[in-house]
Structure 1
């Protein structure tokens, strides 16, 4: 039975793109076993809550299962799962019901300076072993680049991520003529009716992202999509992630796990969730650059395939604490 004797929290400044922050939680039990968790892009109140409230709830308290530690904080929940599974010597993927040993990966390509440059980048990824490519599109950067990619690669499995940026249904109907597998996040999250209307008119599967079972139920009721984009870091707990997975799978939806942000721990949890039986579409852990991860081995794809760590307990990755401390902006320990 775990009993946490020490809580450490680290705020990291990640040096890619527009500099962003991630928050790590380290739990140490009385036997010296540790568990790690991560919250990507955490709200400012998370830091204060961990320091002022959760530390007192966690330190010296016996608990039998991560579900009995209802903190509502993804980083703490992940750390509890990591600690609990390490103590039992089982991989996190196995503990939550995962069945896959490896995953097909998609690679995500952001908008480019030119159509020619985008096609060149697609070529690089195809040569690197990817058979599935997701292209980020926006109004004004959509039909022309997708047409060019499809002409260059007629057999490539292709998806687009619209970033919730569209309001015009006709633009998306035009994209559907290029043999897309999935149209991700076309409209604003709350606009379930537009999602349902689009799904009714296109051959591609519409994919929606939900951060709670209630949001997912709204989409399921209206049959507003056929794919759930499952981002574990958006849920308060891994058990809630599993419940969303089970609901979508029971409805006959495909599921794509996504979560490439942060310093590596959140990615590792994404891979564990993607090993669940209902996660039928390629996993997306392709961004940001690998050199910003603090875990070993790094989490990523090799020739379009992601290995699920089933020989190591917990998240299956160790922390490079030297690299961690180089990125720390501030920290505290209780």
Structure 2
């Protein structure tokens, strides 16, 4: 900051030094002017000028130091009070811009809320004809056509469900209800939803649940498992998907293992990134890159650890580690 201050006052400092040098030079040329007393005056005035600079540095940089430490948000409380006329011009400009940005942010927030409410309303309205379509598909006699239509219906259903949770996830803390959840019935319900797709691809399930109950939010846990099962089915062919639960160090773990195509090692660190799709099969237009991102975000809010291991051509294993009962104090404090 002191370098910036000296640079800002450079012209004044140079002017002062020039005047001192000029005074000494004139005294040197004119013998009528006593040189030694004048040199003493120049020395004293230089000392006084340095002290003055230090005083002005402390006084003038206080406001600008607070600007440097400012977090660039809309809170002006942390800024030092303006003292000089130019500082007041800056402060007034900041205040007016801050008020404008606050109004703009409030307006944008209202528009986003309206957009979210309209989209949620639209999704719920679309679910009605989807339910009717499911009933009509069930009455079809052509098994091949029925299987194909069921698959396409399921894709629409899952995409709508993903969109619904995507809009709700920023406010997930307001939507949590922690209770003892029956893991077995929840998993079976999600498998039942995917049954037609699994039959079409020749995929079965091997379920071994040593622990059948976990303390969590049932709705959001169902969403997380739905995303993991959907991924497992999508990238598997004619193989089983294994689901196991166990207790380890006082925590419940749930493992979901498939024997599908696996994930490229270079993709593993990025699979939970928003919008990321596989680099090995990048032309997969059906992938949105949102499922695992949303699942990871929901798991984080529920304090559920999510780990993944995979080998190309051998399959992928996702492991959910549920928090201990005492850890839920942190959720309620969020």
**Bucket of the pairwise TM-score, normalised by the shorter protein:** under 0.3
Bigger Cα Rg:
2
Structure 2 length as normaliser, TM-score? 0.23
Which is bigger in relative contact order (C-alpha 8 A, separation at least 6)?
A: 1
Higher strand proportion (structure 1 or 2): 1
Structure 1 length as normaliser, TM-score? 0.23
Higher helix proportion (structure 1 or 2): 2
